[in-house]
Amino acid sequence: MMLKKLTTVVAALGLMACETIDGGLLNINPDGAPDAETNTETVVAADEAATVEAIADVQPEVPEVTVRGPAAIVADAGVGDWIPVDPENTLYIDIPQGRIVVQLSPDLAQAHVEQVKLLAREGYYDGLNFYRVVQGFVAQGGDESGNKTIRTAAPFMQAEFDERIPRGLDFTPLGNPDGYADQVGFINGFPAGMSRRENRVWLAHCTGAFAFGRGNERDSAATEFYITLQPQRYLDRNLTVFGRVIWGMEHVQAITRGEPGNGGVIVDRSKWTPIRSFRVAADVAVQDQLYLETFNTNSDLFSELIEARRNRPEDFFYYRPDYLDLCQMPLPVRLTPNR
């Protein structure tokens, strides 16, 4: 209908352009005879008015769209929008400041996931410390001396910086360009990068990323872990991320920092933060477990949440950049209701 109306308008303009005498428009009477007494300027004005009115008639109506803010979207989440955290794939790191809960990846870097669970179950980290803490970078824990015996886990790990994209992998794209990856998004609650050109995928170094440190050799990781205090995306595909802190990040941020001139290593051992307990959650007594749920990043509601963060609809925001950084997309976590 819109195309037909526009065609009619254009045709009418063409007809007016053809009916000229000495450069002036003629008014055509119903019987086909020109009306010589009609003022040319009046005819032009009338035709222009009719044309504007016809074009106005074909403008599409823009429906009113109600865009909700992030808080309203999360508040509206139903049971299907929350996923219980699997205790078999969760670590509890207890330090004097409180409990740090690390969710382990269910999809990527599975050899590292198994390694840290073996270390936890043999009690490797109990009595060790956070001994290297760099302001704005990472908090590193483990055996600073390198002398503690590994009983059941591997002495060295083959790097899993990135890997082939698994068949059927659930990936929710963020929808913005990224400086570190062809595409970024979320894999079952974990921020991730992807290159379909290379058929590779990896977890990203956003705040709270849990990874193993290493030496210069690619396959030299074994036991020493770190937690990022801020995004460190330049480390992506250079170290293996295989978990993320989902609870107690404020305790990580409260750990004593090291000396800047010493690579963040805390010289005074009395200022080290002791690891009182490092356990797989499934091995902890039921009454001592935290029952947590993470937002389902494969849901339609999460896609709506991405859009609400990309352009904040609240009245406070005057500038909306139509952009969202991967590490600035909060991933909601809650205590399971009625537990």
Domains of the chain: 2-57 (no CATH), 80-335 (2.40.100.10)
CA–CA distance, 87 with 82 (Å, rounded to integer): 15
CA–CA distance, 129 with 102 (Å, rounded to integer): 17
Q: Are 236 and 202 in contact (CB under 8 A)?
A: yes
Q: Mind listing the pLDDT tens digit for each residue in 201-227?
A: 999 999 999 999 999 999 999 999 999
**230 is written with which tokens?**
């801020």
pLDDT of residue 66: 65
The CA-based angle 315-174-73, given to 5 degrees, is 45
Q: How many CA atoms lie within 13 A of 300 on its CB side?
A: 2
Q: Mind listing the pLDDT tens digit for each residue in 68-82?
A: 999 999 999 999 999
pLDDT of residue 50: 54
Q: Are 293 and 334 in contact (CB under 8 A)?
A: yes
**253 is written with which tokens?**
């941020």
The three state secondary structure string of the chain is: CHHHHHHHHHHHHHHHHHCEECCEECCECCCCCECCCCCHHHHHHHHHHHHHHHHHHCCCCCCCCCCCCHHHHHHCCCHHHEEECCHHHEEEEEECCEEEEEEECCCCCHHHHHHHHHHHHCCCCCCCEEEEECCCCEEEEECCCCCCCCCCCCCCECCCCCEECCCCCCCEECCCCCCCCCEEEEECCEEEEEECCCCEEEECCCCCEEEECCCCCCCCECCCEEEECCCCHHHECCECEEEEEEECHHHHHCCCCCCHHHCCECCCHHHCEECCEEEEHHHCCHHHCCCEEEECCCCHHHHHHHHHHHCCCCCCCCCCCCCCCHHHCCCCEEECCCC
pLDDT of residue 255: 98
Residue 42 has pLDDT above 60, yes or no: no
Name the amino acid, one letter, at 29: N
Q: Name residue 209's beta-bridge partners.
A: 244
**131 is written with which tokens?**
């001994």
Q: Mind listing the pLDDT tens digit for each residue in 163-203?
A: 999 999 999 999 999 999 999 999 999 999 999 999 999 99
Confidence of residue 322 (pLDDT cuts 50, 70, 90): very high
Residue 17 has pLDDT above 50, yes or no: no
Q: Mind listing the pLDDT tens digit for each residue in 253-307?
A: 999 999 888 899 999 999 999 999 999 999 999 999 999 999 999 999 999 999 9
Cβ neighbours of residue 98 closer than 8 Å, sequence gap 6 or more: 248, 250, 251
Q: Mind listing the pLDDT tens digit for each residue in 95-149?
A: 999 999 999 999 999 999 999 999 999 999 999 999 999 999 999 999 999 999 9
Confidence of residue 38 (pLDDT cuts 50, 70, 90): very low
Residue 59 has pLDDT above 60, yes or no: no
CA–CA distance, 101 with 89 (Å, rounded to integer): 11
Least Cα distance to 322 among 309, 303, 335 occurs for 309
pLDDT of residue 60: 54
Cβ neighbours of residue 85 closer than 8 Å, sequence gap 6 or more: 101, 103, 246, 281, 291, 292, 293, 294
